Amino acid sequence: MPDYLDDLRLAHVLADAADAATTARFKALDLKVETKPDMTPVSEADRAAEELIRGQLQRARPRDAILGEEYGIEGTGPRRWVIDPIDGTKNYVRGVPVWATLISLMEAAEGGYRPVVGVVSAPALSRRWWAAQGHGAFTGRSLSSATRLRVSRVSKLTDASFAYSSLSGWEERGSLNGFLDLTREVWRTRAYGDFWPYMMVAEGSIDLCAEPELSLWDMAANAIIVTEAGGTFTGLDGRPGPHSGNAAASNGLLHDELLGYLNQRY
């Protein structure tokens, strides 16, 4: 079985380069922001970071395919790098420090591509998280200065902390009532959004999170980090991995209950 550690080291190098580019333009008064056809914002920093990562991957891993939020798919083959240059662009363009570059390597497997390496780097928070299949999940400033991540052992919803991104998506999905029932059942709720709640599930500082509408680049890196920390990452349909167009993550002990509430429709 491949150990993926060389790929993980490369992902850190890519994240270092992206951090330098995105941090340099964070809170810049002349930052250029446009609206994409799906009505979401994109900044010059999103595009520059993805171009930088793609350029380095083309030199270091020329046989691998690349899928990115801003420039789509390039190449074919059993290995595919998946990039979200700035997850949390709306935060980024408003000066909110909760944004990150998400980098994942996915490999072809039975049932589709699966993430085997993930790095989530949030330079404005001075935080980074990463994982490689079979090697666990970690947080720290570097590979040599890291703390292993483990999910919580909370086993009752009444003791659990639940994070979500917004209410509107659950309403559009037709499951707002189940979502609200869940918020009434748990101990605590917070609307952190984007990559951060998944990292907190992996750290064990919260126990549950979910989002109703996502793209693969939003989820691939998060999925491997959560699962290598001992947690569970699925779609709302219960399918493992980041391919369902939505996500639910937990410490594993509460996952069935989480999905039960979020799939209620009445």
DSSP assignment string, 253-266: TTHHHHHHHHT---
The position carrying tokens 């190449």 is: 75
List pLDDT tens digits, range 119-144.
999 999 999 999 999 999 999 987 88
Nearest by Cα to 161 from 84, 246, 234, 250: 250
Nearest by Cα to 18 from 45, 57, 58, 37: 45
Measured distance CA(227)–CA(133) in Å, rounded: 9
List pLDDT tens digits, range 2-35.
789 999 999 999 999 999 999 988 887 777 877 7
Average pLDDT of the residues of the chain: 93
The DSSP code sequence of 99-125 is -EEEEEEEEEETTEEEEEEEEEEEGGG
Measured distance CA(255)–CA(258) in Å, rounded: 5
Beta carbons within 8 Å of 263's beta carbon, 6+ residues apart: 175, 178, 236
253 or 89: which leads in pLDDT? 253
Residue 145's pLDDT is 85
Q: What is the pTM of this model?
A: 0.94
pLDDT at 266 over 60: no
Nearest by Cα to 99 from 195, 175, 27: 195
Element (H, E) at 190: strand 188-190
Residue 42's pLDDT is 74
Contact indicator for 79, 63 with CB cutoff of 8 Å:
yes
Contact indicator for 220, 120 with CB cutoff of 8 Å:
no
pLDDT at 38 over 70: no
How many Cβ atoms are within 10 Å of 231's Cβ, its own excluded?
26
In the chain, the amino acid numbered 64 is D
- What mean pLDDT comes out for the span 46-66? 95
